[in-house]
A and B are shown apart, each in its own frame.
Chain A
Amino acid sequence: MKVLVTVKEVAEVADDFEIEGTEVDERYLEYDLNEWDDYAVEEAVQLKEDGPAEEVVTVTIGPERSEETIRMALAKGADRAVRVWDDALEDVDLLDVETKTNLLQSVVEEEDPDLVLTGVQAGDDAFGATGVSLADELGFQWGAVVNALDYDADEEVAHVHRELEGGVEELTDIEMPAVLTIQTGINEPRYASLRGIRQAQSKEIAPKSLDDLGLDAGAIESDLDLTSMYEPESESDVEIFEGDAGETAGKLAEVLREKGVAE
């Protein structure tokens, strides 16, 4: 079986930051492998180590900068990577679910995997929707928010747990080919070993433009238009204690005593 993992490089905003127009200024952004995708990569690599998977391929829609993140996934055990980018994508300020679906679909059709793993959500734009949308586009089965996966190679069925709200899990059997969106906690993502990092240097990251994927500009035309970005208003009148650690702790202790929860 071949497993494809979608891997996003996400931006994290620094403690203090500024918004320029409809973007957080680049100076305040730090990039990293999306937390949920880290778990998806680990799950795929474990499927390979345990037998059912022969190959693990990652796919990323992202500029050249994202190769650093892709190397991380390769160092953790993915065999090779595909990176989709195009000049036409430079000016898109919000890659919406439909656009991502179109781009990823072309790669999936080229790679022809049996199983696609995505993260439940991207830490930055947090649509939480790309995996299920992609499954529909491909005509694959799917399962969202999977926090346990037991693959039955003979039956070609994934026995999964879907994590619902409030400590309830749904047990579901899903036929292949399928897209599963992976939830944190499903496994323990490994750290890349030095050996892994060295090996990753010689693994392939295949660049793909719209043209390479047989797509035209229509594939990235979005109906979503980001019109403003701002810091949310506070819902509470928070009282911030001023002073050094000792002083602030003193005031906090006072509040705890006042509320009668500690003596």
Chain B
Amino acid sequence: MSDVLAVTEHRRGELRDVSFEVITAGRELAAETGGELHVAVIGGDTESFADSLNREGVDAIHTVSEGEEFNHDIYAQAVEALHAELDPEVLLTPNSVNGLDYAPAVANSLDLSLATDAVDLDYDDGLTVTREMYGSKVETTIEVGGDQQAVTIRGAEWPAAEGVGDAEVSEFDADIDTDTGSTVTGFEEVGGGDVDISEADFIVSIGRGIEEEENLDLIRDLVDATDATLASSRPIVDNGWLPKNRQVGQSGKVVTPTVYLAIGISGAVQHVAGMKGADNIIAINTDPNAPIFDIADYGIVGDLFEVVPELIEQFEG
């Protein structure tokens, strides 16, 4: 019982990036526990998924051919059955929206110690997980005891697994009850419309630091003066101050401009997921400890209501 079981994820026919990251995390961990790395793929075109998942360091791939898309009842049953069969020490899943829709249930039902949103894993006689708290302002290490553990891993923290492996691929018969209490009836794309911020070269993005809807005029003036594209963090869209197609982040758009100017944005992980690929990140924030400064190239520790008018002046004056 020193093996690692990593569960992958796909949507609408494609494996998601985090599937390859969870393999890397699993491979590194298995090297430390001295066990094998087992990878599971559930639903969809399992055969071709298994082909792509056969990367270096994977010892075995288990396919469960049940359903096309994610359904948490199916995933929970499949993972629980596989867990019973393989008896791994650590279960790894993505800390994605779907990962969080089944991993806590599996952990509870199998009595696994659960640590979510891990950014680092260490194993030395026992498992230690690094995770953040307080909107990424502090990092913590947690020793995760118990006989067996479940850990969800944060996306984009581990590199994607590469190379070609020689894993044994086998179909696992999980004996799944398909009479589930929840039924997925479809998908809907949101955030369409006339502007596509993902094409922009210079983005001025505004966050909760703006405080009031009326104050957005100040940012609009800056956007006009610099010919930038306006975007925002989630709370601005949640409040209905800007349309959904302006939202940058995990549940919004991914942008890769030359310059991303983040004003009054703290830099929560779900926001960063949408803009960390920008060539230059510049932040204006009153909080010198705001996590946005950890990924910024340039910064102003200051009040946006003082800095932004001066900045407008620079381009109008």
Asked if chains A and B come from one complex, the reply is yes
Give me the interface of A with B, judged by CB distance under 8 Å.
11-13, 15-17, 19, 22, 24, 94, 96-98, 101, 123-133, 135-137, 141-145, 161-175, 178, 184-185, 188, 223-241, 245-246, 248-250, 252-253, 255-256, 259-263
Asked if A15 meets B289 with Cβ closer than 8 Å, knowing A137-B108, A163-B97, A256-B259, the reply is yes
Task: Decide: B116 and A249 in contact? CB cutoff 8 A.
Answer: no
Task: Decide: B282 and A231 in contact? CB cutoff 8 A.
Answer: no
Asked if A97 meets B116 with Cβ closer than 8 Å, knowing A24-B138, A137-B108, the reply is yes
Task: Decide: A224 and B144 in contact? CB cutoff 8 A.
Answer: yes
B138 to chain A, nearest CB (A): 5
Q: What's the Cα separation between A65 and B283 when bound, in Å?
A: 35
Task: Decide: B137 and A259 in contact? CB cutoff 8 A.
Answer: no
Task: Decide: A249 and B311 in contact? CB cutoff 8 A.
Answer: yes
A-chain residues with CB within 8 Å of residue B244 when the two chains form the complex: 167
Residue B52 is within 8 A (CB to CB) of chain A in the complex: no
Task: Decide: A129 and B104 in contact? CB cutoff 8 A.
Answer: yes
Task: Decide: B142 and A224 in contact? CB cutoff 8 A.
Answer: yes
Top 8 nearest A-B pairs by Cβ distance?
Answer: A249-B310, A261-B202, A185-B238, A223-B113, A253-B314, A136-B105, A129-B104, A245-B306
Give the residue among B97, B132, B307 with the most A Cβ atoms within 10 A.
B97
A134 to chain B, nearest CB (A): 8
Among the listed A11, A184, A252, which residue makes an inter-chain contact with B282, where contact means beta carbons less than 8 Å apart? A252
B-chain residues with CB within 8 Å of residue A96 when the two chains form the complex: 114
B-chain residues with CB within 8 Å of residue A15 when the two chains form the complex: 286-290
Q: What's the Cα separation between A240 and B141 when bound, in Å?
A: 29
Residue B291 is within 8 A (CB to CB) of chain A in the complex: yes
Q: Is the interface of A mostly helix, strand, loop or mixed?
A: mixed
Residue of B nearest to A135 (CB): B105
Among the listed A161, A165, A173, which residue makes an inter-chain contact with B250, where contact means beta carbons less than 8 Å apart? A165
Give me the interface of B with A, judged by CB distance under 8 Å.
11, 16, 70, 72, 76, 95-98, 100-109, 113-117, 128, 132-146, 152, 181-191, 201-202, 226-228, 234-235, 237-240, 244, 250-254, 257-259, 261, 279-284, 286-291, 293-303, 306-311, 313-315
Task: Decide: A173 and B291 in contact? CB cutoff 8 A.
Answer: no
Task: Decide: B288 and A225 in contact? CB cutoff 8 A.
Answer: no
Among the listed B101, B239, B251, B303, which residue makes an inter-chain contact with A166, where contact means beta carbons less than 8 Å apart? B251
Q: Is the interface of B mostly helix, strand, loop or mixed?
A: mixed
Among the listed A19, A127, A164, A172, which residue makes an inter-chain contact with B138, where contact means beta carbons less than 8 Å apart? A19
Task: Decide: A164 and B228 in contact? CB cutoff 8 A.
Answer: no
B-chain residues with CB within 8 Å of residue A125 when the two chains form the complex: 133
Task: Decide: A227 and B143 in contact? CB cutoff 8 A.
Answer: yes
Task: Decide: A167 and B258 in contact? CB cutoff 8 A.
Answer: no
Residue of A nearest to B134 (CB): A13
Task: Decide: B311 and A173 in contact? CB cutoff 8 A.
Answer: no
A72 to chain B, nearest CB (A): 19
A46 to chain B, nearest CB (A): 16
Task: Decide: B142 and A255 in contact? CB cutoff 8 A.
Answer: no
A-chain residues with CB within 8 Å of residue B284 when the two chains form the complex: 252
Can you identify 24 A-B contacts, CB atoms within 8 angstroms? A15-B287, A16-B288, A98-B108, A98-B113, A101-B108, A129-B103, A129-B107, A167-B253, A169-B187, A169-B188, A171-B186, A172-B182, A184-B234, A224-B142, A229-B138, A232-B138, A249-B310, A249-B313, A252-B311, A259-B279, A260-B258, A261-B226, A261-B228, A262-B226
Residue of A nearest to B285 (CB): A15
Task: Decide: B289 and A16 in contact? CB cutoff 8 A.
Answer: yes
A223-B146, A245-B309, A260-B258 given; name 10 further pairs at CB < 8 Å. Answer: A129-B100, A167-B191, A167-B253, A171-B186, A184-B234, A238-B298, A249-B311, A252-B284, A256-B261, A259-B259
Residue of A nearest to B95 (CB): A128
A-chain residues with CB within 8 Å of residue B308 when the two chains form the complex: 249
A96 to chain B, nearest CB (A): 7
Q: What's the Cα separation between A136 and B100 when bound, in Å?
A: 13
Residue of A nearest to B251 (CB): A163
Asked if A249 meets B293 with Cβ closer than 8 Å, knowing A224-B115, A227-B128, the reply is no
B-chain residues with CB within 8 Å of residue A256 when the two chains form the complex: 202, 226, 259, 261
Q: What's the Cα separation between A249 and B305 when bound, in Å?
A: 12
B-chain residues with CB within 8 Å of residue A22 when the two chains form the complex: 140
Q: What's the Cα separation between A188 and B316 when bound, in Å?
A: 37
A-chain residues with CB within 8 Å of residue B190 when the two chains form the complex: 167-169
Task: Decide: B314 and A129 in contact? CB cutoff 8 A.
Answer: no
Among the listed A127, A130, A241, which residue makes an inter-chain contact with B117, where contact means beta carbons less than 8 Å apart? A127
Task: Decide: B105 and A142 in contact? CB cutoff 8 A.
Answer: yes
Task: Decide: B183 and A173 in contact? CB cutoff 8 A.
Answer: yes
Asked if A245 meets B302 with Cβ closer than 8 Å, knowing A234-B294, A262-B202, the reply is yes
Residue of B nearest to A233 (CB): B294
Q: What's the Cα separation between A174 and B101 when bound, in Å?
A: 13
Give the residue among B291, B300, B302 with the most A Cβ atoms within 10 A.
B300
Task: Decide: B108 and A240 in contact? CB cutoff 8 A.
Answer: no
Task: Decide: B188 and A136 in contact? CB cutoff 8 A.
Answer: no
A230 to chain B, nearest CB (A): 6
Task: Decide: B250 and A171 in contact? CB cutoff 8 A.
Answer: no
